[in-house]
Chain A
Amino acid sequence: MIQDARTHARRLLTDPLVPLGSLAVLGAVAMASAPVLTWAVLGGLAGYALSGSV
């Protein structure tokens, strides 16, 4: 039961959309607090957009 819950939580946390959502939130936070950090988020978005491409 606990194992199933852990697996389910892990599956949710590792969903391929999680990094995109996290970066979007980080971008808003960076923009509001330290705009130069927005460039790290922009780079991250560009890099993650290439998921599945080698």
Chain B
Amino acid sequence: MLALFSAGLVLGGLLSSLVLWLLSGLAAPLPPVLRYGVAVAIAVLAVLRDAGAVRFPLPQNTRQVPQDVLQRDLLRGSLQFGFELGTGVRTYVSSTAPYAVAVALLLVAPGWAGAALAGIGFGTGRAATPLMRIASPAGDPWDAALRARLKAITIGASAAVAVLLGWLASGP
């Protein structure tokens, strides 16, 4: 079940990233320095937003994936549930990092392979949470540990995204 859920997450992420890759052609006429500059600036803004230094709303689907997808057919529902979460557009987005990466994919246009890797990475990153929880010792208060570290994870992930994008921008 977890394998199907994880596969769905990866497939959903892959679909979204390839859609972004298709749309990235629209930004191609802009000079690279502008495209990278805006991508890095938005990533820095994402860090500030996640740290609470700035506040502004971002578009998101303010709903949860309906639980009944799991009740109809557990196997198929696990795949569908994962797929919907993996797309990143079918439910809440509680961090700004996904927006920063989406904008970077649109502006930097790393090619289909880079976009596909980003999508697979997104799904895998989402799958890491339930995988880590299952791998933790039985009876371990893992959920409480996650809650305690959630802010650090959110800010840390955004900061790492900004640093890596800045590094990519300064590359050859």
A contact set with B: CB distance below 8 Å: 7, 10-11, 13-20, 23-24, 27, 31, 35-54
Contacts and interface: CB of A to CB of B under 8 A. Distances in A.
B54 interface: no
Contacts of B97: 45-46, 49
14 contacts: A7-B137, A11-B140, A16-B149, A17-B149, A20-B153, A20-B157, A27-B163, A42-B121, A43-B124, A44-B122, A46-B118, A47-B122, A49-B157, A54-B65
Interface of B: 9, 13, 17, 50, 64-65, 85, 88, 91-98, 100-102, 104-105, 110-111, 113-115, 117-129, 132-133, 135-137, 140, 142, 145-147, 149-150, 152-154, 156-158, 160-161, 163-165, 167-168, 171
B146 A10 contact: no
Nearest to B143: A52
B164 A17 contact: no
**Is chain B's interface secondary structure helix, strand, loop, or mixed overall?**
helix
Given A16-B142, A35-B171, A43 B149 contact: no
A24 B158 CA distance: 11
Given A48-B125, A53-B94, 18 more contacts: A14-B133, A16-B132, A20-B157, A35-B171, A38-B164, A40-B120, A43-B122, A44-B121, A45-B160, A46-B101, A46-B121, A47-B122, A48-B128, A49-B125, A49-B158, A50-B93, A52-B147, A53-B91
